[in-house]
Amino acid sequence: MKFKFCLKLLLIFSLAIPYSGIASTKLISSFSKEQAFFMLFGNYDSDHQIAVWENIVFPSKKDQTFFWGKKIGIVSSLLFARFEDHGDEKFFLLTKTIPVGIPFRCHACLPLISAAVFTKINQHWKIESQNRFLLYAGEYGESPLVKLVTVENQQGIQMKYKHYGEGIINNSMFVLPFNNIHLLSEAVSDDHNI
């Protein structure tokens, strides 16, 4: 009889103890790549893991090469990562966009690289910052190599790519901190003859 009474008390108290929201945030992500794509582009094909970016407005005429005549691109994710900034949970999305309607496998076919940071404000996810025209990087429609890095206590990404031209290989490496996606620092650039 005492055992049943103790079991009931234990059950009642366990239901009355509030569950820590911190643990649930760590276990189940409250934001997804699909949500990020919908916020930026208004669509997302989860089967192919792409979005269509329509009516691209280029910041300058030099950015709108003949590749982008239709002003429509296919966007895919290069990196989607959770990070903390002064204790706040945030997400970083790095994408590559290639134009539609043309074969995009040439030496000068540089994908458009974009970045965005998302943060939660008043229980709703918002775009904190974005740079849709971060840079054009890679060749033959391929994206640069991307990896997570920590530099001077700041989380960010490192992008590496090679560019071949006129018998020279140009190796470039860029570091992009998550908390300032408008700051792009070229860390290394060296040329080598083939």
End-to-end C-alpha distance for the chain, whole angstroms? 86
Range of the domain at 104: 30-146
108-133 pLDDT tens trace: 888 999 999 999 988 899 999 998 98
Instruction: Report how many domains make up the chain.
Output: 1
Q: How many CB atoms lie within 10 A of CB 36?
A: 23
Residue 43 lies in a domain: yes
Residue 162 lies in a domain: no
Residue 63 lies in a domain: yes
Residue 8 lies in a domain: no
Helix, strand, coil % over all residues of the chain, rounded to 5: 20, 45, 35
User: What local confidence, expressed as pLDDT, does residue 45 receive?
Assistant: 97
Nearest to 130, CA basis, from 41, 66, 46: 41
pTM: 0.74
User: What local confidence, expressed as pLDDT, does residue 120 receive?
Assistant: 92
Burial of 56 (0-12, 13-18, 19+ CB in 10 A): middle
Eight-class DSSP state of 176: E
Residue 73 lies in a domain: yes
C-alpha distances out from residue 38 to 42, 115, 145, 180, Å: 4, 14, 25, 22
User: What local confidence, expressed as pLDDT, does residue 133 receive?
Assistant: 87
Residue 46 lies in a domain: yes
Distance CA 165, CA 157 (A): 26
Strand partners, 90: 83, 119
Residue 1 lies in a domain: no
User: What local confidence, expressed as pLDDT, does residue 163 receive?
Assistant: 65
Distance CA 70, CA 50 (A): 18
Q: What is the pLDDT along the chain (194 residues), one digit of tens a residue?
A: 444 444 343 333 333 333 333 322 333 458 999 999 999 999 999 999 999 999 988 887 777 677 888 889 999 999 999 988 888 899 999 999 999 988 888 878 889 999 999 999 888 999 999 989 888 887 788 888 888 888 777 788 888 876 666 666 666 666 777 766 655 544 433 433 33
Residue 48 lies in a domain: yes
Q: Characterize the bridge pairing of strands 145-151 and 124-136.
A: unpaired
